[in-house]
Amino acid sequence: MRLKDKVALITGGSSGIGRETALLFAQEGCAVVVADVNDEAGQETVALIAATGGAAIYVRSDVSKASDCANMVAVAEQTFGKLNIVFNNAGIMHSDDDNAMTTEESVWDLTMNINVKGVFFGCKYAIPALQRAGGGSIINTASFVALLGAATPQIAYTASKGAVLSMSRELAIIHARQNIRVNALCPGPLRTELLMKFLNTDEKKQRRLVHIPMGRFGEAKEMAYAALYLASDESSYVTGTEFVVDGGITAAYVTPE
The CATH number assigned to the domain holding 15 equals 3.40.50.720
| Residue in 41, 134, 83 with CA at minimum distance from that of residue 72 | 83
Residue 255 lies in a domain: no
DSSP 8-state class, residue 177: G
Residues facing 88 on adjacent strands? 140
Residue 145 lies in a domain: yes
Residue 257 lies in a domain: no
Residue 2 lies in a domain: no
Residue 250 lies in a domain: no
Residue 17 lies in a domain: yes
Dump pLDDT digits (tens) for 38-75: 999 999 999 999 999 999 999 999 999 999 999 999 99
Catalytic site residue from 157, 229, 237, 253: 157
**φ, ψ at 35 (rounded to 5°):** -115, 135
80 near 33, Cβ under 8 Å?
A: yes
Domain with 209 in it: 7-245
Q: Would you call 237 a catalytic residue per the annotation?
A: no
> Per the structure, how many domains does the chain have?
1
Residue 221 lies in a domain: yes
Residue 74 lies in a domain: yes
Dump pLDDT digits (tens) for 88-121: 999 999 989 999 999 999 999 999 999 999 999 9
What is this structure's pTM?
0.95
